[in-house]
Structure 1
Amino acid sequence: MMKVLGRWMPTLGLAACLTTAACKKEEATPTPPPPAEPSAPAKPTPPPPAAQPTGAGPVTDTDAGTSAGATPPPSTPPGSQAAQAEDPKSHEWTAGLMEVKRSGFAPVTMREVRTARNEGFDRLVLQFDGDQLPGYHIEYVDKPVAKCGSGDPSEVAGQGWLQVTVQPAQAHDGPQVTVAERKRKPGLPIFEEMELTCDFEGEVTWALGVKKPNKYRVMELSNPTRLVVDVQH
């Protein structure tokens, strides 16, 4: 204790002050927050799938035709030429005349003729050398079916006769014929008999005898070059 009475008060005040300061210092010390947990990296959002084109795609280049006694051709092997779409301008069914004129080139050679049955129609395929398709004139004709060179009538079975003429074209290569079987009976639902009635001066004609003169359609195919005629059952 201080002997001087007047100094008691400052001493007590100092003690009180120290006590208060300690309290304030103690209260002023905040509790540190817990460390934040590291957030997981955001997963990248995959891009939306590319939009698919609308409408129908190209038609596969297959004529589904077979030669008499032959097996159907195999599918296009890898590395071969890409299939071409059917020509879109001639897909309508008709029972009237269909004609496309082409000229200014040498007659193209017909190499193969084949027929096949399909769902709802029979198919005739005329195949040519090269990339150029000849013009064509297709229509139903009345009997008698005549041969172009002599004009002589030819008997072709059926109740209707669809005449398919292509030009400039030929079914021979020099003296050698390229289509040996010139009259045949396909034995199909609508095709009864067919005959090559003309191979003369750049014109080739097939007379197609059918059970009924039903509607037909024409298509142009490439790789190889073909003219396709379908007749409804």
Structure 2
Amino acid sequence: MIHPRLRQLVALASGALLAACLSFAAPASAATPSAATASATQTQTPLVVNARWAGHATYDRIVIDLQGYVPGATVTPVAQLIYDGSGQPVPLAGKHFLEIRLNPAAAHDDAGNNVYRGPKLQKIGLTKLKGIAMTGDYEGYVTFGAAFDTVPYYRVYTLHSPERLVVDVSHATQ
């Protein structure tokens, strides 16, 4: 029979070893690809300077240009696009919408000057993409909305040198 004190010591050592292993593994597994590319020394908030789009043979592309590094981003289907802060609806025609949120990010510099030079609200006539709007630049979040007539099937990734967030929307119906 194992002495209770020895059993307790083994349990504590095992727990400490497990915690140490998890602490080393967690940052790599928990980091998004864009967060992994940002060095630990970067303290400057990335700046969103432009949004653009293009139609290709099999997909439409949205590109968000950044200065600094590509921050974390989420792309989420939503029922309606609204402006951050005011909660007012975004006047883009469409039946389906994607919300693109970048954080941490800003479309203004530390002095409050606007650095974003892209469209604030733009109707677009591509195969899938029907419109885009910048819907917010508020408390470390920059948000865009994209409008579509049909359900958008998309993939999101980053490109570097220069830094960009890319959303490709397939022309195929799934």
State TM-score, norm by structure 1.
Answer: 0.53
Q: Is it true that 1:189 corresponds to 2:127 in the alignment? A: yes
Q: How many residues align?
A: 133
1:113 counterpart (41, 48, 51): 51
Give the direction of change, closer, same or farther, for the CA distance of 1:180–1:115 in structure 2 (3 Å limit): closer
CA displacement at 1:151 relative to structure 2: 1.5
Q: Is it true that 1:147 corresponds to 2:80 in the alignment? A: no
State TM-score, norm by structure 2.
Answer: 0.70
Q: Deviations over 1:118-140 (max 9, x none)?
A: 1211000011112x210001110
The sequence identity of aligned pairs, in percent, is 33
Q: Unaligned 5+ residue runs, structure 2?
A: 1-30
1 or 2 for the larger relative contact order (CA 8 Å, sep ≥6)?
A: 2
Q: Could you tell me which amino acid in structure 1 is paired with residue 46 of structure 2?
A: V
1:157 counterpart (87, 93, 112): 93
Question: How far apart, in 1, do the equivalents of 2:102 and 2:153 lie?
Answer: 19
CA displacement at 1:142 relative to structure 2: 0.7
Q: Could you tell me which amino acid in structure 1 is paired with residue 102 of structure 2?
A: V
Question: How far apart, in 1, do the equivalents of 2:129 and 2:123 lie?
Answer: 8
Question: How far apart, in 2, do the equivalents of 1:220 and 1:177 lie?
Answer: 21
CA displacement at 1:180 relative to structure 2: 4.6
Question: How far apart, in 2, do the equivalents of 1:117 and 1:153 lie?
Answer: 26
Question: How far apart, in 1, do the equivalents of 2:158 and 2:104 lie?
Answer: 16
CA displacement at 1:217 relative to structure 2: 0.4
State whether residues 106 and 168 of structure 1, in contact with CA within 8 Å, keep that contact through their aligned partners in structure 2.
no
Q: Is it true that 1:214 corresponds to 2:142 in the alignment? A: no
Runs of 4+ in 1 over 3 A off after TM superposition: 99-106
Q: Deviations over 1:96-127 (max 9, x none)?
A: xxx94849733210112110001211000011
State whether residues 172 and 179 of structure 1, in contact with CA within 8 Å, keep that contact through their aligned partners in structure 2.
no
2:65 counterpart (117, 124, 127): 127
* Number of the residue aligned with 2:22: none
Q: What's the Cα RMSD here? A: 2.0
1:138 counterpart (58, 61, 75): 75
Question: How far apart, in 1, do the equivalents of 2:118 and 2:161 lie?
Answer: 23
Q: Could you say what secondary structure the match of 1:113 adopts?
A: strand
Question: How far apart, in 1, do the equivalents of 2:93 and 2:108 lie?
Answer: 25
More helix by share: 2
